[in-house]
Structure 1
Amino acid sequence: MEFKTLISHFILLGLFTHSPQHLLLFSVIMVMFLVALSSNGLMILLINIDSRLHSPMYFFLSCWLSLMDLMLISTIVPRMAIDFLLGRGSISFTGCGLQILFFLTLLGDECFLLAFMAYDRYVAISNPLRYSVVMSRHVCWFMVAGSWLFGLVDGLIQAVFTLRFPYCGSQEIDHFFCEVPAVLKLACADTSLYETMIYVCCVLMLLLPFSVISASYLRILLTVLHMRSAEGRQKAFATCSSHMAVVSLFYGAAMITYMRPQAYHSSKQDKVVSAFYTMITPMLNPLIYSLRNKEVAGALRKLLGNYMCRAR
């Protein structure tokens, strides 16, 4: 019988080397990280201090979407930056498991939260007279709790089962964080059945919320087409455009990563797509909502005006 030594930690190869081109890319990533932190933090501040933004849509946006984006980018980028600066990317089994847990929990949370936000827009446009009743504070909190629960269950299951496999031989994960497909490549056991189960699970976790989003926007479109007022149609489309842009960015990248069979994955493609929805999307989300939303822009102007008055 051949005995193999089980490894005690992994080595993350990272996203960059120390070439001049990659040093420039690393600087760009750090600027994006700072922009994401400041813009999401500003979004949370604006919505909490401006009474005009105390509605269910902004409750989802500030307390949860912006908060999730902050947590998501903070789970990945600081660790990646430290590994790059120190020139090593060693991570323990426990650290790898926690990173998988936090990452997949936040990813699942955002999937369902975007679906609930689409339903909120459907109720606001299709049934405005009952909006305050249907989307009450209790209902909003129930939706948020449900999204966290689904995300946590998915993250916990995948983290536990991924690290239950024996790992021996190579310790090098060709990625900049512990993403499940990259970790499973190092397992010293047949993971084909588990990979199939993960694939089915991820498809369901993506398609179920996406079906709610699609159904909500289909009903919104039908409602808008029956509106007689051109101004009403324009306002409805303006209300939904920011959310549709965020959904397209997030689900597009997530589906490319998690709905492709393992045989079609390559390390370079996986790292690029993962960088998109772990770094670029959290930076773009608050910018999309602030630039395309008059109420948020108005709240920002009001905050800046108050600051300037106090400075004088």
Structure 2
Amino acid sequence: MSAVPVSPPEKTSGVMAKIIGVPSAGPLLVLLAFGLIFAITNPRFLATHNLSIILQQTVIIGTLAIGQTLVILTAGIDLAVGAICVLGTIIAGKLVTSGYDPALSMAFSVLVCTAAGFAAGGLISGLRLPPFIVTLGILGILTAALRLISAGGAFPVRDEFLGWTGNTLRLGGFIVTYGVLLMFVLYALVWYLLNETKWGRHVYAIGNSPEAARLVGIPVRRHLLSVYLLAGFIYGIGAWLALGRIPNADPNALQTANLDSITAVVIGGTSLFGGRGGLIGTLIGALIVGVLRNGLTLAGIDPLWQDLVTGILVIVAVALDQLSRRKG
């Protein structure tokens, strides 16, 4: 008897299995599903102006989520994300209003944010303190420091250089800001570090098992320190994007940035237990949050319900990750 040829449906199912096996495939399907639902229920959703607004609204959390992804990949968590970013806006704003050069002021602001990340990484890697406790403590310190530096109130920051990331340009029918483009550049650069360098492979190894990574010769402490250092630098860039988005330095700003950045990372498929995930999923996760809030706003849904739905998504994502690990 002759061999039975493989039927096209089996080939198709094999291709589908490979697609589903991609870590970012699940979040992408969720993003497409939300987009389809909102497009059907509200014709304004797919308008180029509205899609441009979604990208602009995603830029701050999307950027902060890059640093949060790096930290979570090492099985840590950063609760000081928003506070460090706001620190950058306050310092840059104060220096510029005092007459200092805008470029140097922004550079110094990014340096201070990087130093905050270095301090967190030093305590976690050097003293082996839990990331949750360290970043929670830094959050408390910075919350008080921000009110002292700003004298308890917000103030406008009207400088062309600091607000440059909010300038717009037209790409086809879309209007995007330079901040959006800068966010995509950051994603590309950090993606390359994670996926194409030895440093990135070590980050994943530490997230999977710090002890096993140490036994094979990976300098775990030094790598952890570098992760928090890079995350702090990214938060500093996020401060520049925040000033372009809202030309105002407010010590009470970005109060939900910690939760929102963690939400983007977790919904994007990165495991809270470390060692699994990536930046493509995080970008999709940030877009999911942006699309969800925008679509519900167009539908006239109260923001409190939006937070409720977002919280449910986070719990479902973590539950699926836990089930996946048990199955593995």
Structure having the higher helix fraction is 1
TM score, norm. by length of structure 2:
0.31
Bigger relative contact order (CA 8 A; separation at least 6) = 2
